[in-house]
Structure 1
């Protein structure tokens, strides 16, 4: 007798079962047919759902690819595609710009690069090489140039370049130490046409160390006197003086001048801001950053947004800022933290202003009302993509719900690496991890935007550092040659 629990193999053959022993109730057959039908429908529904989800995801990625700052597709292999010339750089950036250039012999010129012409443009000589200057010397001249585009647009829309050209400057040693001063013997204002580089005007200037250009055109020159700062506006084509503003100061520390929309902004040695209209009237003065400035004060201007941010940093790692956008104090925004640079913003969280100090803060960009604060010490830039804010701490990437501030995921810490830049190709969140010691392998690390799972890491090509975006292209810098390179 077999023991209980023993398993006995039984072989069944359909032919051994009599036909009349099979169930004859038609409802059983219908039940089996119905069950098979349900399974088929469910499978079809799941397939359709998956197809719809995939199609929606692909469409979302395609839309995101059109957002400025989103780079082309990246995979786990990175190579140097080419070394970038200045012409390549402007073609990739997609916006015209100009640079003041010093030749090997010390001659000064201005180069303008135009993306519509594959980065080609024009070059206009400004000042011949100084006599007796060694060609091997590293010289920084005090010349400077400005463009007169309308407020809120790029330099490519400028009509004129206004240059303050001087032979004064300073010789700098190979170690970067400032050495012998070059005395100033000539200073001119030179006005160039951005269309072809032709010289529209050139006239001598008695003194000056800074220039801004306003539409009109108006050239505003900054100079220093024994009593403080002297700002003079000129008609740049005729050289006729239009108005003068004097700001007295008890210190010889150089003040700074820059453009804020259609206004002229001046900062004094104490960090306070004064705004002048294009006709020289003082429209605001005494603007300063709020809060504890035990670690210092500073400012950042954003020409494209036509804002300037004054900030004060405290010893506990916190900071406070005021964002100034014009003559009306009611438009100022006082916020905690310093403005966080947003590399990509797809508009999925409208009206969002991000700042950072020991935390990341979100404000309404129109009213300054607080939206949320989350415990992330952001050190680089941020992305706003598909309703989420992506930011970095020293060694982590953090995803935050853009509306509530709730933390969604946080990546593992990187050992021997520091996150220097945050990018996206539409499919991944990409963190540029730079080496901080000898053990870490620098790489571009790709994360799944929804889950934070690491998808891949692409090691940098040998010698490449400072990986980032230029327009829609991934670029880096060759540490040996100090040249910018395209990666792919």
Structure 2
């Protein structure tokens, strides 16, 4: 801060030592100092604006956390209900949009600010409910939200009045559902674009296809899949999955403009109109992993099945979880067997990396960042050339990015690495009792043995 004296004459100064300055002018050095300070302020403002805009663009494509400081400290803590909102909501430019239960039993959609947990906006969906209110702090939101792939200004949420109560290790529904809403909101302002009551059997939002076609699950049958137009609320089709795609293991995912329905022994790909495009055999289904280009990777006992809208690929090895992928290496799929294998969109092998098996990965700006026993390695996503590697006592967790640095969890600290060179920029202790560090919904979360359980770091 520069202090500028506005008086043209100092009291008591001898006339012969005064410098005559006409009114309306200032000495050149005062103007120069003020201009320099203004330039510094404007320069920092522009740099901050560009950094924030760059982070927003990256955050729109993948799950990067808010930029963190050199001293990573707890910003706010999540109670179980807030944690449910975060896990059932979706990230949006530093916020999480999802269903929130209020003390009177009403349900709103809210935008939760990742910096301190305050609500930027709330949109009412369901009114007060005494039965839900009686559940108190054990009440959990019944619903979920998805972003429309071809229109980021539209978020679609399924919200019901089911009384869902969370225990220490389980969640239980204690009352039948009597009201279900499919709501479309603007994630920036919370403005309601559409709000339709749909069938009370529709309790699960599986996916959202381009054009706002919501793919829902029906409670009438664990294998019924229902498509509803989010703009009009009209049910477009309802199909029972073929026997091969049924069983105790069951999942539904969007693959481009199609829907993959996965069961214990088989997989069925449905078109936008609900017709069967093709079927595939699956063995030992235990879930699926999203791919950065709109496909999914389904691990099985005989390898990994990569499922797309129009074709599938059978790859050797178990799919590696990629925690964040900005799409800068289109078609990349990573699997683990005797080494780390990289495949292209056509299933052709690109490269392999020997050594200890990676425990997690992120793909950003054409580089694959991997954590594995003993350290971190950065690999060119197309050629497999090692860009850099460092030795660190890392936890078996994926690395994380905040748009500026690469964050890795150590035994008691978090380290920030330069993504270009791997050089350690700074290190900060984890919260007391911290055990796990994870990026979720744009938030940097730590679970703790002592204290609130889950805290947001910044």
TM-score, shorter chain, exceeding 0.5: yes
Give me the whole-angstrom Cα distance separating, in 2, the residues matched to 1:355 and 1:288: 17
Give me the whole-angstrom Cα distance separating, in 2, the residues matched to 1:424 and 1:98: 21
Q: Matches of residues 88-487 of structure 1 in structure 2 within 5 Å? A: 94=93, 97-112=96-111, 120-131=120-131, 134-136=134-136, 138-140=138-140, 143-147=142-146, 149-151=148-150, 156-158=152-154, 161-167=156-162, 169=164, 171-173=165-167, 175-177=168-170, 181-194=173-186, 196-198=190-192, 200-203=194-197, 205-211=199-205, 212-225=207-220, 229-236=223-230, 239-247=233-241, 249=243, 253=248, 255-268=250-263, 270=264, 272-288=266-282, 293=284, 297-302=286-291, 305-313=293-301, 320-326=303-309, 328-329=310-311, 332=313, 334-341=315-322, 343=324, 352-357=332-337, 359-382=339-362, 389-400=368-379, 405=384, 411-412=390-391, 414=393, 418-423=395-400, 430-434=407-411, 442-445=412-415, 457-464=427-434, 466-467=436-437, 476=446, 480-482=451-453, 484-487=455-458
Gaps of 5+ in 1: 1-61, 315-319, 435-441
Q: TM-score, normalised by structure 1?
A: 0.62
Give me the whole-angstrom Cα distance separating, in 1, the residues matched to 2:453 and 2:236: 44
Gaps of 5+ in 2: 1-49, 59-63
Give me the whole-angstrom Cα distance separating, in 2, the residues matched to 1:107 and 1:457: 43
Q: Call closer, same or farther: CA 1:125–1:396 in 2, change over 3 Å.
A: same
Contact 2:90 2:96 in 1 (8 A): no
For residues 442-464 of structure 1, the C-alpha deviation after alignment (integer angstroms, 9 at most, x for no partner) is 11245677887767643335455
Q: Call closer, same or farther: CA 1:84–1:391 in 2, change over 3 Å.
A: same
For residue 260 of structure 1, report the CA deviation from its aligned partner: 2.6
For residue 231 of structure 1, report the CA deviation from its aligned partner: 2.8
Aligned length: 385
For residue 338 of structure 1, report the CA deviation from its aligned partner: 0.7
Q: Call closer, same or farther: CA 1:283–1:485 in 2, change over 3 Å.
A: same
Q: Call closer, same or farther: CA 1:124–1:287 in 2, change over 3 Å.
A: farther
For residue 184 of structure 1, report the CA deviation from its aligned partner: 0.8
Give me the whole-angstrom Cα distance separating, in 2, the residues matched to 1:202 and 1:263: 24
Give me the whole-angstrom Cα distance separating, in 1, the residues matched to 2:195 and 2:280: 36
Give me the whole-angstrom Cα distance separating, in 1, the residues matched to 2:211 and 2:367: 42
For residue 486 of structure 1, report the CA deviation from its aligned partner: 3.8
Cα RMSD (Å): 4.6
For residue 239 of structure 1, report the CA deviation from its aligned partner: 4.9
In our comparison, the structure showing a higher alpha carbon Rg is 1
Give me the whole-angstrom Cα distance separating, in 2, the residues matched to 1:177 and 1:469: 23
For residues 79-126 of structure 1, the C-alpha deviation after alignment (integer angstroms, 9 at most, x for no partner) is 42743899xx999962665211222344322224699xx972332232
Give me the whole-angstrom Cα distance separating, in 1, the residues matched to 2:281 and 2:131: 45
For residue 474 of structure 1, report the CA deviation from its aligned partner: 6.6
For residue 134 of structure 1, report the CA deviation from its aligned partner: 2.8
For residue 278 of structure 1, report the CA deviation from its aligned partner: 1.9
For residue 332 of structure 1, report the CA deviation from its aligned partner: 3.5
Contact 1:343 1:422 in 2 (8 A): no
SS in 1 for 2:410: strand
Give me the whole-angstrom Cα distance separating, in 1, the residues matched to 2:191 and 2:384: 50
Give me the whole-angstrom Cα distance separating, in 2, the residues matched to 1:473 and 1:201: 29
Give me the whole-angstrom Cα distance separating, in 1, the residues matched to 2:91 and 2:201: 38
* 2:21 aligned residue: none
Give me the whole-angstrom Cα distance separating, in 2, the residues matched to 1:356 and 1:342: 15
